[in-house]
Structure 1
């Protein structure tokens, strides 16, 4: 694990410099989860931060939810909010060192928080972590790519160049149900491992 990256993200949580954190699950992801029927799915939320998505899933009967973050403070925050969340499902790890196989991966702004030069590695790692025909779904930012970040933006066309070789593109469209501050700046996507 990169000690520098770990220290950077941990300090953001410890000093409350978490402008991306809306304090609850985002509407597009909540509505996606609400249509999932199989409560046995093994789900991963990488770069989860305070993991409101994991909290929502767990409280709605999904018990095989795994959360990963390079920073420890947000994992401790989730433990405080849900003491019954299985400790062995909390992974204090660099995403690129995660192991295991999952049916579904939920993406909530993690892709746009990692350095741009790691995007290709991210896509390959996602494919590795998914079972055959496994899915990745969630949100990507839709604003011009910047060198200053995180977050780093991107576009539909750019994302397709990364994901198309490895995934079937089921959905990649502008969110109709973003929270007001993010309206027009989010793409909802659902991709299946090829």
Structure 2
């Protein structure tokens, strides 16, 4: 499969487009069935993290305590289906209605084939949302969420939109909730064009530690590692940061895992 960071047509397609207008290009990609970023399956790094649940930092759903989850930029919904199989009531959000049509088809086919078997006492519900992630409110959707999973969403946003991404994530995360980021592409340089834009660990630290603020960056817009600071009282703090044992092929090179996976909580906890 051709990886998002190996697909030269995307940076060319987005070249010269104002950051606030990028969503129109993603919609057009779905309309044209141009989806080289699709992984064809769920994130096993996410599955392994929740299954292992280091230090029990992730709130797990149960019959007496159901939990909600959000997957922004869900595309064909692979990770939505995975989280549902783990018992979460999941909301798959995408700005493209064509993406959600593909997600519904994918869900119907996968469940008919017996994929995504229920791992707990119940299968969580699935709700598809055709909305702009940055919209202040979503129609008929109750927020915030107990778990949010970000993969190839952060890296799809140009750096000028990252402060708004962090601020929105904070507002969507419930007290006691967890934001999980599968960090990709972690070894790309900030000088290289996107999407995907470089997403090393310092980017997540720089933006999530003080949501809405602009951290110090280099001439290419990459966060300067030496200038990152501890989480502000109003920010998010990182609880877990590891290299997963398994990840998508696109997050590896010569068998070596490049991706990181991180877990974040409100710093006030």
Which category of TM-score, normalised to the shorter sequence, fits these structures? 0.7 to 0.9
Aligned-partner Cα distance in 1 for 2:98–2:50: 25
Deviation beyond 4 Å, 4+ runs, structure 1: 83-87
Aligned-partner Cα distance in 1 for 2:86–2:176: 24
CA contact (8 A) 1:135 1:192 kept: yes
Correspondence 1:38 to 2:107: no
How far apart are 1:11 and its partner, in Å?
2.4
For residue 43 of structure 2, what is the aligned residue in structure 1? 26
Aligned-partner Cα distance in 2 for 1:14–1:101: 30
Gaps of 5+ in 2: 1-18, 53-57, 112-123, 138-142, 210-230
Task: Report how many aligned residue pairs link the two structures.
Answer: 191
Cα distance change on mapping 1:6 and 1:124 into 2, 3 Å: closer
Q: The residue matched to 1:192 in structure 2 has which SS? A: strand
Root mean square deviation, CA, Å: 2.5
The correspondence for 2:75, drawn from 45, 49, 55, is: 49
Computing the radius of gyration over CA atoms, which structure comes out larger, 1 or 2? 2
TM score, norm. by length of structure 1:
0.86
Which structure has more strand as a fraction of its residues? 1
For residue 17 of structure 1, what is the aligned residue in structure 2? 34
The correspondence for 1:160, drawn from 181, 200, 205, is: 205
Q: The residue matched to 1:16 in structure 2 has which SS? A: coil
Gaps of 5+ in 1: none
How far apart are 1:178 and its partner, in Å?
2.0
Cα distance change on mapping 1:50 and 1:33 into 2, 3 Å: farther
CA contact (8 A) 2:77 2:106 kept: no
TM score, norm. by length of structure 2:
0.64
Q: The residue matched to 1:58 in structure 2 has which SS? A: helix
